[in-house]
Amino acid sequence: MLSIKILCAGSLKEEYLRQACAEYSKRLGAYASLKLVELREGASMLPFINKSAYNIALCIEGKEMSSTELASLIEKTAVGGKSEICFIIGESTGLSEEVKRACDLRLSFSRMTFPHQLMRVILYEQIYRAFTIINGGKYHK
């Protein structure tokens, strides 16, 4: 089973955001193992980046893709022999250049700026959507 790791700065402060992530996490359990690693603000992320994983930095200057393109990327990564995909969300000021350079892909969900805490919920939902696309589920319309 593919392992999905979400590495992020800070923890979710709002209960409704935690509940949304918990719901998508529960749904994702049917498709992949999910691990959340929360670091305190200002902590270095580099030691937590597994070089054998496929690492994706979420940043505004990254490549934009559709939900089906993300699903295809996840599927190709798994078929290509990677057992872990790590999505990295930075602080409100973004990710350091060192972290971005350590990643295989820079991904942007939009040219708009989202609060980094809300971005976590959006990421969970898109990962879940990707797995339903891969598995022919009805969630993605």
CA distances 127 to 47, 93, 98, 101, Å, are 24, 23, 25, 23
The Cβ of residue 84 has, within 10 Å, a number of other Cβ atoms equal to: 18
What is the rounded (10 degree) CA torsion for 12, 107, 110, 131?
-70
Taking alpha carbons only, the member of 61, 53, 19, 13 closest to residue 33 is 53
Name the pTM for this structure.
Answer: 0.95
How high is the pLDDT of residue 116?
A: 82
Q: Name the amino acid, one letter, at 116.
A: H
**Interacting residues of 52 by C-beta distance below 8 A, sequence separation 6+:** 82, 83, 84
Tokens standing for residue 48: 């937590």
Q: What is the pLDDT of residues 5-23, one digit of tens each?
A: 999 999 999 999 999 999 9
Which mean pLDDT values do the consecutive 10-residue runs of the chain (141 residues) have?
95 96 96 96 92 96 97 95 95 92 97 89 97 91 69
How high is the pLDDT of residue 134?
A: 96
How high is the pLDDT of residue 106?
A: 98
Topology, domain 3-134: Alpha/beta knot (3.40.1280)
CA dist 24 and 17 (Å) reads: 11
Q: What is the pLDDT of residues 99-121, one digit of tens each?
A: 999 999 999 999 988 888 899 99
